[in-house]
Amino acid sequence: MKFVDEVSITVRSGKGGPGKVSFRSESMAPRGGPDGGDGGRGGAVVFRVADHLNSLLKYRFKNKFFAPNGTPGGGRNQTGSDGEDLILPVPPGTIVKDKETGRVLFDLSEVGDTVFLEGGRGGKGNWFFRSATNQAPEHAQPGEDGETREIRLELKLLADVGVIGYPNAGKSTLITAISAARPKIADYPFTTLSPNLGVVAINNDQTFVVADIPGLVPGAHKGVGLGTQFLRHIERTNLFVHLIDASGIGGRDPLQDYKDILLELTEYDNAKSEEEGFRPLATRPQLVVLNKIDVLSKEQREELVERFRRAGVAVREISAATQYGTKELINEIGKRIFAS
Ligand SMILES: Nc1nc2c(ncn2[C@@H]2O[C@H](COP(=O)(O)OP(=O)(O)OP(=O)(O)O)[C@@H](O)[C@H]2O)c(=O)[nH]1
Ligand SMILES: [Mg+2]
């Protein structure tokens, strides 16, 4: 199943700076003793597990990450500066694998830092090589090379938002419109046979994961259609987008569709109520969203919104196909998720 976010990246730790060959020069002694300093250490590559991250999105846009080199040693026994460590922030649950062999190198679940590649050591300057027998060494060491590795990062995704609704409501079209996920879309029910996940970017550092699940129908809790088995995938999400086909195609009534799905959630809750730690789905926060409004006239839209309002339900209007209102929906979801 496509429950993983995966990226391949190349990382390199910094090379050590070379040691320096240098001799003291003072006015009285034009060629004094050796005073070449050591090179600085190269930067290390460090994974930093950060709680606020939930995807590997950052690594989709860039895939080479090099730590800076150490700088050369100087005269007067000056040590070069160390290259800064390259910090790679990853969400908890990230697995680091060797790209070629697939071997698991780290399973990063605890918040904190893990050094992956040490930086190369700086070379010794000629001051280091002075001895009783060689008081004027003419050589210094080069810096040690950094290490380069090709790795794969994998993350098992947990959805933040679950998209629920009837078959054909446009759930897969919606996640296609707002994320890089490409589930199958078609004009027949039960196109989606297993959940799909997509990572949605609100801005450069805030993302959330959305899951579309196979459509629910009346009787789903009794196994009608594909049943409710897929609801377990969104049991841990704190927000649902309840997507409704507003087109009324085939004589369907959008408000009745809404009530049908709520009833299925309630039945699911009843069946699960004994389970330890189970939190009911029917009472979870929902953004109720009318989809396919591109096929409605202005009057039809207003009338439909008003019907929902009278039933005590505030709705948003979108067209997943034309992406009308999807940006606003993303922002509203973001506000809900990051406020909690
Ligand atoms: N006119 C219009 N058609 C849409 C819109 N969104 C989706 N559709 C169409 O509705 C049909 C169903 O879309 P899907 O995204 O496959 O629906 P789904 O809810 O994922 O369906 P299942 O996977 O079967 O539960 C497709 O033919 C889509 O092209 C929309 O905003 N406007
Ligand atoms: Mg679908």
The Å distance, Cα 22 to ligand 2 centre, comes to 71
Q: Final residue of a domain: which of 156, 174, 196?
A: 156
CA distance 147 to 16: 11
Which ligand neighbours the alpha carbon of 187 most closely? 1
Nearest CA to 257 among 295, 292, 233? 292
Does the C-beta of 163 come closer than 6 Å to ligand 1? no
The Å distance, Cα 308 to ligand 2 centre, comes to 24
Q: How far is CA 105 from CA 4, 47, 50, 102, 113, in A?
A: 17, 12, 19, 9, 15
Q: What is the pLDDT of residue 2?
A: 42
Q: Return the CATH number at 92.
A: 2.70.210.12
Q: What is the pLDDT of residue 1?
A: 35
Domain membership of residue 120 as a residue range = 4-156
Q: How many domains does the chain fold into?
A: 2
The Å distance, Cα 308 to ligand 1 centre, comes to 21
Q: Return the CATH number at 218.
A: 3.40.50.300
Does the C-beta of 172 come closer than 6 Å to ligand 1? yes
Q: What is the pLDDT of residue 156?
A: 73
Question: What type of residue is 303?
Answer: E
Whether 116 and 214 share a structural domain: no
Q: What is the pLDDT of residue 310?
A: 97
148: which strand partners?
A: 12
The Å distance, Cα 227 to ligand 2 centre, comes to 14
Closest ligand 1 atom to residue 193 Cα is 23
For 333, list phi and psi in degrees, rounded to 5.
-60, -45
Q: What is the pLDDT of residue 188?
A: 84
Q: What is the pLDDT of residue 47?
A: 97
Does the C-beta of 191 come closer than 6 Å to ligand 1? yes
The Å distance, Cα 237 to ligand 1 centre, comes to 23
Q: What is the pLDDT of residue 302?
A: 97
64: which strand partners?
A: 10
Does the C-beta of 329 come closer than 6 Å to ligand 1? no
Whether 102 and 175 share a structural domain: no
Whether 247 and 169 share a structural domain: yes
CA distance 109 to 97: 14
Q: How far is CA 131 from CA 25, 137, 262, 286, in A?
A: 19, 8, 85, 77
Q: What is the pLDDT of residue 257?
A: 96
Whether 171 and 291 share a structural domain: yes
Q: What is the pLDDT of residue 192?
A: 83
Does the C-beta of 248 come closer than 6 Å to ligand 1? no
Contact 124, 140 (CB under 8 A): yes
Does the C-beta of 192 come closer than 6 Å to ligand 1? yes
Q: Say which residues have a Cβ less than 8 Å from residue 229's Cβ, sequence separation at least 6.
A: none
Whether 35 and 183 share a structural domain: no
| Protein residue with its CA nearest to atom 12 in ligand 1 | 168
Q: What is the pTM of this model?
A: 0.68
Which ligand neighbours the alpha carbon of 171 most closely? 1
Q: Say which residues have a Cβ less than 8 Å from residue 328's Cβ, sequence separation at least 6.
A: 316
Nearest CA to 174 among 211, 227, 228? 211
**Residue 231, SS3?**
helix
Closest ligand 1 atom to residue 188 Cα is 24
Whether 131 and 211 share a structural domain: no
Q: What is the pLDDT of residue 29?
A: 65
Q: Final residue of a domain: which of 156, 191, 225?
A: 156
Chunked in runs of 10, what are the mean pLDDT values of the chain (340 residues)?
73 98 80 92 96 81 95 96 97 91 91 96 97 92 97 85 94 93 85 84 86 89 84 85 94 95 94 87 96 97 97 97 97 88
Q: Is 28 buried (19+), middle (13-18) or exposed (0-12) by CB count in 10 A?
A: exposed
Whether 141 and 214 share a structural domain: no
Does the C-beta of 186 come closer than 6 Å to ligand 1? yes
Ligand 1, from 185, 194, 292: best to mutate by most atoms within 8 Å of Cβ? Answer: 185
Q: What is the pLDDT of residue 181?
A: 83
Q: What is the pLDDT of residue 90?
A: 94
The Å distance, Cα 156 to ligand 1 centre, comes to 27
Q: Final residue of a domain: which of 105, 131, 156?
A: 156
Whether 17 and 104 share a structural domain: yes
Q: What's the alpha-carbon Rg for the chain, to the nearest Å?
A: 30
Whether 324 and 198 share a structural domain: yes
Whether 129 and 215 share a structural domain: no
Checking 60-64 for CB contacts under 8 A at 24+ apart, the result is 60/7, 60/180, 63/7, 63/8, 63/9, 63/10, 64/9, 64/10, 64/11, 64/12
Does the C-beta of 190 come closer than 6 Å to ligand 1? yes
Q: Is 30 buried (19+), middle (13-18) or exposed (0-12) by CB count in 10 A?
A: exposed
Q: What is the pLDDT of residue 292?
A: 98
Q: What is the pLDDT of residue 225?
A: 86
Whether 86 and 195 share a structural domain: no
Whether 89 and 168 share a structural domain: no
